[in-house]
Amino acid sequence: MDYRKLGQEITELVGKKDNIARLTHCATRLRFELHDISKAETEKLKALPGVITVVNNGGQYQVVVGNEVQQVYRVITQQMGSATRSADSKSDSGKNNGPKQKQSWISRFISVISTTFTPVIPAIIGAGMIKAILAVLVLTGLVTTESQNYYILNTIADAAFYFMPILLAYGASIKFETSPIMAMTVAGVLLHPGWSALMTEGKDVFFIGVPVRLTDYAGSVLPIIIVVWLMSYIERFADRVSPSMIKFFTKPMIVLLITAPLALVAIGPFGTYLNDLVAMGAEAINARASWLIPLLMGTLQPFLIVTGTAWAMTPIATSQLTKNGYEMINGPGMLASNIAQGGATLAVALKTKNKKLKQLAASSGFTAVLGITEPSLYGVTLKLKKPLITAMIGGGVAGIYAGLTGLVRYAFVSPGLAALPAFIGSNPMNIVHAIVTCLIAFIVTFALTWIIGFEDPVDDEEEGNTNVNDDKTLSGQPVQDHTPGTKSAATTNANVLNQNEIHSLMIASPMQGELVHLDRVPDDVFSLGLLGKGAAIIPAKGELYAPIAGEVTAFMDSKHAVKLNGYNGEEILIHIGVDTVNLKGRHFDSSIKVGDQVQQGDLLISFDIDAIKAEGYEVITPIIIANSDRFPDIKLEKQRSVEVGATIMHLS
C-alpha cells in the first residue's frame, strides 16, 4: 500500500490540513477533530482503497484504516507540519494553544453531553435494571413496598440518580480537561447534608451579603456541567498564580474557594433554571400533543444514532426520572424504534439468499429487539436502505400509539424486550401499552420490509469457507510447529504461505477469561469483522500473553493494543477494551517494543481491570486475524471459560 498517497488523499477529503484542529490515532483508526465537519467528504473517504469505514461520533471524525494506521498517521502529521504540534501541545497552564474547533453550538453541546454521560451510563443502567427487577417483584407479590427489602433495594437503585452530579462531574472533568477529584468535590458541596438542612429550615440565606437561592441539586444535570466548565478555567488561573514551592497547597484551595461559592450563589441556580426550562418545554409539548415526541423519536432514532445526536435528550430524560420517577422523552419512542429495527433486520434474515447477510441479520436482529440496535443499523438496514426506511415508518407508527396511550419508562435502560420490566409502574396498563407498542413496531416493519423488499447482495462466499463464528473445531489435523528457529517474522511474512505445508495453525488464548464471539464487542469496527475475523475474550485477570511466537510489529504508546506477526504468516491484532486509547496509557504497563521477538506465553501487557472499568470503559478484548484473507478457513472453539495457552482458534 502507498501510505503517502493514502495519507494525502485522506487529508484532502477531510477538508485539507487547515480544517484539522487535532489528530490522534488508536490501534485502527485516525481520530480527527475538524474545524468544519461539513468540509469532510465522507462517501469519497469510504470509497478510498485502504479505508475500511468512517465514523462520526462524540465530536470525533474517525477514519478507520486498520493495522496501517500508524504509517498513515505519520504521513498526515508530516504534511501538517507545525499545525499538528500546535494543536496537540498545551501551555503550562493546560490551555490548548492550537486552533479551536469551529463547531455549531448544537455540535458542541452534544459533544459535551456525550463525553460527560458515557462514563455514567453503566451506573444508571445498573440502577435502572434494579428498578425494573423491583417492579417485577412488587407486581408478583414477592416484595411489598412497605418491606425493608424494598427499601434497601430502592435505595440502591436511587443512589446513582441522587448522586448524579458527582457522577457527571467525573465525565465533565474529562471533557474540559480538569481535575476529576476537584470536580467531584465541588459536586459534593451541592449535595452536602448541610445544604439540605438549610433548605429544610426555609430561611433566607446570604453569602457575603449576596442572597443565595436554595435549590435541590439531587439528580440535576446541567448545573454541574456548567460548574465544571467554569472550574477548568479557574484551575488554570490557580496554576498560574500559585508559587511553585507551595502550589500543592494553594492551587486546590483557590479552586475550591472560588468555584464552590460561585456554584452555590450563581451557576447552580442558573443551571437549574435552564434544566427546568427545557423540561417544562418538553412537558408542555407532551401535554398538547402527546403523540408528537414518541413519533419523532420512533421515526428519527436511527438518524440520531448515526449523527451522534441521540444524546441531546438524555439530560431531560434523566431529570424527569429523578423528579417524577418516570420519563416520556426517550423511552417510549426508543422502544418503538429498537423493536422496529429488529423487525426489519429479521425480515432481511428470512428473505435474503446471501449466507453472510443472513447470519449477520439473524444475530443483529435478535440483539436489536433486545434493545441494542447498532449492529443491526450499521451492519444491515443502513447498507440496504429500504429496510431502514421501513424501520423508521414502523417506529413512527408505534411511537404514535405509545404517545396517545401515555406510555412512560420508569427506569433508565436501553428499551427492548429485555427491558420491558422498566415499563412496569404505578399505572398497571403501562406495561400492556409497552407490549402493544412492541407488537405494532415489529409487525408493521416486518410486513413492510417483506413486501417492499431490498436489493439482495450477491453471495460471493467461496464453497468450503467457514465463518469465524462457527462453533465447529478441527480435530486430528497436523499443526505447524511455531518454533521460530533463526528465521525472522518479517522474512517469513515476505514469502507466500505454503498451504500444502501448513494444514492448521492453532492460536492460543492470550488471557484468562470467557471466550466469546466478535459480535459481543460493542464496537462495530470489530463486531462486524471490518478489520478481519477473530474472537474476543472478557478477561478475568489483567494480564495479556503472546498467543503465538513471532515479532511485535505494532505497539501503541497507550499500551492498550499490540500486533504480532507469527512465523507461519499469521498476523494478530489484540485490542484491550473499547476506546481505551482515551486512557492514554493509564492502568496499563508493558516493557515490550516494536521489533521484539516473543515466544507463545510471554507476558506482553499488564492492566488494571477494575480501574479501567471505573473510568467507564469496557475491557472485552478482540483478538483479530488481521490477514484473514490468507486463511480461507478460520474456526473458533466453542464459547467457554479459557485459561492462558488454551486453543481458541484454528487457521487453515
Residue 61 burial by Cβ neighbours in a 10 Å radius (0-12, 13-18, 19+)? buried
Say how many CA atoms lie within 13 Å of 471 toward its Cβ. 5
Q: Are 56 and 62 in contact (CB under 8 A)?
A: yes
* DSSP tag of 35: S
- Between helices 164-175 and 222-241, what is the axis angle to 10°? 50
Give the whole-angstrom CA distance, residue 568 versus residue 138.
Answer: 60
Model pTM above 0.75: no
Q: How confident is the model at residue 111 (pLDDT cuts 50, 70, 90)?
A: low
The letter for the amino acid at 243 is P
Window from 19-28, 409-418, 425-434 with minimum mean pLDDT? 19-28
Cell of 603: 507476558
Q: Which of 237-246, 308-317, 570-579 has the highest mean pLDDT?
A: 570-579
Give the whole-angstrom CA distance, residue 288 versus residue 437.
Answer: 21
Q: Are 333 and 294 in contact (CB under 8 A)?
A: yes
CATH number of 505-651, picked from 3.40.50.300, 2.60.40.350, 3.40.50.280, 2.70.70.10:
2.70.70.10
515 in helix, strand or coil?
A: strand
Secondary structure percentages of the chain, helix, strand, coil, to 5: 55, 15, 35
Closest of 410, 424, 275 to residue 331, by C-alpha: 410
**Integer angstrom CA distances of residue 237 from 86, 117, 232, 270, 621:** 21, 27, 9, 23, 41
Cell of 349: 434474515
* DSSP tag of 301: H
In CATH terms, are 3-80 and 505-651 the same topology?
A: no
* Type and span of the H or E element at 272: helix 268-288
Cell of 343: 423487525
Q: How far is CA 415 from the centre of its chain?
A: 17
The letter for the amino acid at 18 is D
26 is catalytic: yes
b or e along 354-387 (b: 16 or more beta carbons within 10 Å of the residue's beta carbon)? beebbbbbbbbbbbbbbbbbbbbbbbbbeebebb
> 3-80 falls under which CATH superfamily?
Glucose permease domain IIB (3.30.1360.60)
Q: Which residues pair with 25 in a beta bridge?
A: 30
**Integer angstrom CA distances of residue 594 from 3, 485, 558, 598:** 19, 19, 14, 11
Give the whole-angstrom CA distance, residue 96 versus residue 614.
Answer: 27
The answer, yes or no, to whether residue 106 has pLDDT greater than 80, is no
> What does the pLDDT average to over 558-564?
91
**259-290 pLDDT tens trace:** 999 988 888 788 777 767 776 777 777 778 77
The answer, yes or no, to whether residue 112 has pLDDT greater than 80, is no
What are the backbone dihedrals phi and psi of residue 477, each rounded to the nearest 5 degrees, phi first?
Answer: -105, 140
Give the whole-angstrom CA distance, residue 405 versus residue 396.
Answer: 14
Of 6, 10, 26, 264, which one is the catalytic site residue? 26
**152-192 pLDDT tens trace:** 988 998 888 888 889 989 888 888 888 889 999 999 998 88
Does residue 637 or residue 185 have the better pLDDT? 185
C-alpha angle 164/166/169, rounded to 5°? 105
* Type and span of the H or E element at 182: helix 180-191
Window from 66-80, 425-439, 464-478, 553-567 with minimum mean pLDDT? 464-478
String of DSSP letters for 571-629 = EEEEE-SSSGGGGTTTTEE----TT-EE-TT-EEEEE-HHHHHHTT----EEEEETTGG
What are the backbone dihedrals phi and psi of residue 474, each rounded to the nearest 5 degrees, phi first?
Answer: -85, 150
User: What are the residue boundaries of the structural domains of the chain, listed by start?
Assistant: 3-80, 109-280, 289-452, 505-651
Residue 95 has what pLDDT?
A: 39
Q: Which residues pair with 545 in a beta bridge?
A: 603
538 in helix, strand or coil?
A: strand
% residues pLDDT > 90 (the chain) = 24
- What's the Rg (C-alpha) of the chain? 27
Q: Are 129 and 138 in contact (CB under 8 A)?
A: no
Query: What is the 3-state secondary structure of 422-451?
Result: HHCCCCCCHHHHHHHHHHHHHHHHHHHHHH
Q: Are 156 and 127 in contact (CB under 8 A)?
A: yes
